[in-house]
Structure 1
Amino acid sequence: MSPALHPVVCLGGANVDRKLRVAAPVRPGSSNPVSARETWGGVARNVAENLARCGVPVQLLTAVGQDAAGRALLDDAARCGIDTSAAEVVADALTGSYTAVLNPDGSLHVALAHMDLCEQLTPDWLARHAGRCRSAALVVADLNLPAATLAALVAAAAQAEASPLVLVAVSEAKMVRLPAGLQGVRLLVLNRGELAAWAGTERLADGVARLRAAGVHDVVVTLGEAGLCHTTPAGELIHLAAPAVSPEALVDVTGAGDALAAGLCRGLWRGDVAAQGWSPTCVQALARAARTVQSAATVLPDGDADSDPISLPPIPS
């Protein structure tokens, strides 16, 4: 069977996203009028939905509470085409939540994450799903997983014949969960602040060099509206600009990073990266992220970003 016919397995967070958009600049210590919207979220879940909506077979390994939110979350994921048959349903626990307070222009003011259920995703839990991970075309894990589970996952990925492993950062605070040795990590996706938190330096090139010295094969550093940087096989950094999004078109930044990460994973799954290098895949991923910030949805309801109408910047030669 062709590797592209095997599923992508996503491990990590799945939760309720609550988006509160203030009507005027936030006044600390006071009540602020907001508009509110609830959607499904979680980095691993969002990546899985983006992939499923682009026609990629995907399995989600996560934990939800034995509550109405957990049942609804899994039902919705199944409707999107995600295989949730191996998701853990934990009794006497609340499904995780992520509450984003957005500024009037749609940019993020502050976010509050309640992801305690991910602590149930232990190395023993991972061992029960070792067969799924070994048979996957690609394994994608977010850093909501406990440190011990991430260490076990990275160790397994370093073995011969293991499925390629992609790690997606979730916050600066959780960068400490990365193991010291990162051999076996095919790709690490993180933003500039998360890189600085891990590497202890604001110098982008120095931080990426430290990741590669720790064993990471490829690194993509997202830079928000400035685009991203990706590594080359020689260890050089290539900068790609993001498609321009006018302030009037910006609706909600929530989910843009997950859309971009999914685009990168899709390029690996399809073999585009092996055939063409990272730049074409990164351009398509940036386009999907740009479309996401222009939508109220955390994940775009339509599918393939290849037909995106946004005018893309040229790829550096």
Structure 2
Amino acid sequence: MSEVSIIGGITADIEGHPHNRLIYGDSNPGKIAISYGGVGRNIVENLARLGTKADFISVAGDDLPGRGAVRELQDLGVGVEHVRLLPEENTAVYMSILNLVGDMELAMCNMDVLERISIAFLEETSEHLKKAKVVGIDTNLTEDTLEYVTRQLKDTPIFLDPVSVAKAERARGVIGRFHTVKPNRMEAETISGLSILSEQDLKEAARWFIGQGVQRVFITLGGGGVFYMDDKDEGLIRPEPIEIASTTGAGDAFSAAVIYGILKEFGIGKTARLGMAAAAIAMEAKSAVNNQMSMDRLRQKLNGEVL
């Protein structure tokens, strides 16, 4: 039986790395990589590489990228019996272009198939989900589906990754049902309705989430680190200088580490450090998930801290 169940998206990721400064309105020479992604899929792969028994609940097209993504997760030991491949749909695609320093400059996505993660679909998995120790969700789910699954799992710690500013609003009405949320600054602004321009603003936004019923909040700040808060502790962790291959997938690695921290009942400060270490490892690779992710690597990053 899996310890963690993740509900979320599978995508085919297409990522462009320019050789020189990007010129808009022109064809830019560079390298193009194709891999599997999706916030939920990336989280569950990271968990599997950390030795966690996890399964995935999602939909994809019954096409080459969909079948390949499922096979790759299966080879890693992820439970994929609840991933449905739909013959009438195409697998979701996320296409991004990075700048010279490895940050995302522009992206486009077609996630229509993920709307098929419906209430009817999740009803088939409800008893399975209730057996998980922790459930992770991304906001590729619709508002109605988020309402349904959080109501059904009211006795289970649920982690939320808001995915994007455009989709973060979907979670606002049920945000207090989540045990832990991990928005970035802009997603936190969208959900809370508060402007975040300073460290004091960070604290006020985090208090808003706690006031709604969230037990733990991690507001990620990109190169600025992460601010964390629960009802007992708060703090701001700045990242160590590292050589970055790509920032794509760093947030997903952070999310996986936070879920691991919930599972192991770590304190929020230790969980935040774990998340930062996982994000740093993720950024060492150009792929959305670093295939070198492991507990040994995390321990090295954390100078041997017991995990």
Once the two structures are TM-superposed, the CA of residue 209 in structure 1 deviates from its matched residue by 2.2
Give the whole-Å Cα distance in 1 for the aligned partners of 2:257 and 2:296: 10
2:215 paired residue number = 217
Query: Which of 251, 262, 270 is residue 268 of structure 1 equivalent to?
Result: 262
The answer as to whether partners of 2:136 and 2:160 remain within 8 angstroms in 1 is: yes
Which letter does structure 2 place at the counterpart of 1:258? D
Give the whole-Å Cα distance in 1 for the aligned partners of 2:230 and 2:215: 9
What do residues 172-223 of structure 1 show as CA deviations (whole Å, max 9, x unaligned)?
Answer: 0111111424333110011011111222222322222222222212111111
**Structure 1 34/215 Cα, relative in aligned 2: closer, same or farther at 3 Å?**
same
Residues 1:240 and 2:237 aligned together: yes
The answer as to whether partners of 2:159 and 2:180 remain within 8 angstroms in 1 is: yes
Give the whole-Å Cα distance in 2 for the aligned partners of 1:209 and 1:125: 35
Tell me the percent identity.
25
Which letter does structure 1 place at the counterpart of 2:237? L
Query: Which of 288, 294, 304 is residue 294 of structure 2 equivalent to?
Result: 304
Query: Which of 172, 175, 190 is residue 168 of structure 2 equivalent to?
Result: 175
Which letter does structure 2 place at the counterpart of 1:297? S
**Structure 1 122/179 Cα, relative in aligned 2: closer, same or farther at 3 Å?**
farther
Give the whole-Å Cα distance in 1 for the aligned partners of 2:177 and 2:50: 26
Query: Which of 70, 82, 98 is residue 66 of structure 2 equivalent to?
Result: 70
Which letter does structure 1 place at the counterpart of 2:156? S
Which letter does structure 2 place at the counterpart of 1:221? I
What do residues 6-65 of structure 1 show as CA deviations (whole Å, max 9, x unaligned)?
Answer: 420000101111111112222121221221001110000000000001110111000010
1:258 paired residue number = 252
Once the two structures are TM-superposed, the CA of residue 105 in structure 1 deviates from its matched residue by 1.7
Once the two structures are TM-superposed, the CA of residue 288 in structure 1 deviates from its matched residue by 1.5
Which letter does structure 1 place at the counterpart of 2:168? M
Correspondence 1:1-317 to 2 at 5 A: 6-158=2-154, 162-200=155-193, 201-202=195-196, 203-234=201-232, 237-245=234-242, 249-271=243-265, 273=266, 277-308=267-298, 309-310=300-301
Q: Which runs of 4+ in 1 moved over 4 A?
A: none
Give the whole-Å Cα distance in 2 for the aligned partners of 1:301 and 1:31: 31
Q: Which moved more, 1:35-44 or 1:120-129?
A: 120-129
Q: Give secondary structure in 1 for the equivalent of 2:69.
A: helix
Number of residue pairs matched? 298
Give the whole-Å Cα distance in 2 for the aligned partners of 1:225 and 1:310: 17
Once the two structures are TM-superposed, the CA of residue 307 in structure 1 deviates from its matched residue by 4.1
**Structure 1 40/76 Cα, relative in aligned 2: closer, same or farther at 3 Å?**
same
The answer as to whether partners of 2:169 and 2:191 remain within 8 angstroms in 1 is: yes
Q: Which moved more, 1:66-75 or 1:200-209?
A: 200-209
The answer as to whether partners of 1:228 and 1:239 remain within 8 angstroms in 2 is: yes
Once the two structures are TM-superposed, the CA of residue 255 in structure 1 deviates from its matched residue by 0.5
Give the whole-Å Cα distance in 2 for the aligned partners of 1:180 and 1:125: 22
Which letter does structure 1 place at the counterpart of 2:116? Q
What do residues 108-143 of structure 1 show as CA deviations (whole Å, max 9, x unaligned)?
Answer: 101212111110011111111101110001100001
What do residues 55-92 of structure 1 show as CA deviations (whole Å, max 9, x unaligned)?
Answer: 10111000010111111111111111111111111122
The answer as to whether partners of 1:180 and 1:214 remain within 8 angstroms in 2 is: no
The answer as to whether partners of 2:210 and 2:231 remain within 8 angstroms in 1 is: no
Give the whole-Å Cα distance in 2 for the aligned partners of 1:18 and 1:104: 17
The answer as to whether partners of 2:146 and 2:174 remain within 8 angstroms in 1 is: no
